[in-house]
Structure 1
């Protein structure tokens, strides 16, 4: 069984999207459109997204009109999208719409991942739900040299330092890459 990773980019002030749910600020950073391979989880066999992230990706790359663009980021990996609404699906993409608590969908996600990792792409609240379910193993953050005036918070949960153990910190191009192991909550 692989790990469950929340791997994302953030502004210096802790936003993963601006106040219009856009990532344009991220792609404006040098190499933001084509990140270094060291910034992407190599062993992820399944991706998980919230509906806001999913809809932004569809719109930003006009994927419904050009379904071949889906694979440029997602590849042929299954992608689970948490939503309570009916959403469009690009032709040929392996997208599995799910709803309900993360804990109830987790066995299905893990089964699809096999021995590979599960990459929680976004958003921060969805990653927090994985933490709440005791299923988040790692938080990897690529900090972009950008300050935003507001937007979606990186992780809208309080996590004390006793739960996080720094595994690495390095410069990758213009990004500061921080990787933390998430420890189980003690009672």
Structure 2
């Protein structure tokens, strides 16, 4: 059954970006052993992407004129007006993630849905009971402060660890199921 997945990297202390949206701490690890293979294997099963407006704005600022997901439908949750890059399949939306869940599934066409970011958007999926899996790469740096991995209220029920492996440069990738019915 297709899953809604949060494939993400975080610092050892649980942050996905600095408070100023700097990802230099993460980008210094580009090209680590096993990273490309992990990403390509993950993307092979993705049929739809969902991201927050800040993530979209970051991509547009740091990759101007280049859309990294040209053949994959993408939804961007935003309160701002944006233009889609040429050749992209982007739908800009406002509202609750539950309001568009059926649209994501239809566009995914039987494949998985990737919640790219940020943490606040992933937290909305989790709060609505829609987030099935977290695929977390823990990067061996400590930021001390920043944007949290999954800023939710209160503890979750225990997550089910389904896989874990060490990649290059001390990065640990783990897969957790949130909803036991997602298997």
Same fold by TM-score greater than 0.5: yes
Q: Which residue in the other structure is 1:20 paired with?
A: 20
Gapped runs of 5+ residues in structure 2? Answer: none
Matched residue, 1:44: 46
1:177 positional shift: 0.4
* Contact in 1 for aligned 2:7/2:136 (Cα 8 Å): yes
Which runs of 5 or more structure 1 residues have no equivalent in the other structure? 64-68
Q: Do the aligned partners of residues 158 and 164 (structure 1) sit closer, same or farther apart at CA in structure 2, a change above 3 Å counting?
A: farther
RMSD: 2.0
Count of residues in Structure 1 that have an aligned counterpart in Structure 2: 177
1:66 aligned partner: none
Please give the alpha-carbon distance, in whole angstroms, between the structure 1 residues aligned to 2:156 and 2:52. 26
1:112-171 deviation per Cα after TM superposition (whole angstroms, max 9, x unaligned)? 111000000101110111111111110110011111132110010146463411111110
- Tell me what 2:31 maps to: 31
CA, structure 1 residues 163+180, in 2 after alignment: closer, same or farther (shift >3 Å)? same
Structure 2 CA distance for aligned equivalents of residues 168 and 161 of structure 1: 19
CA contact (8 A) 1:36 1:172 kept: no
What TM-score does the superposition give when structure 2 sets the normalisation length? 0.89
State the distance in 2 between where 1:86 and 1:30 align. Answer: 31
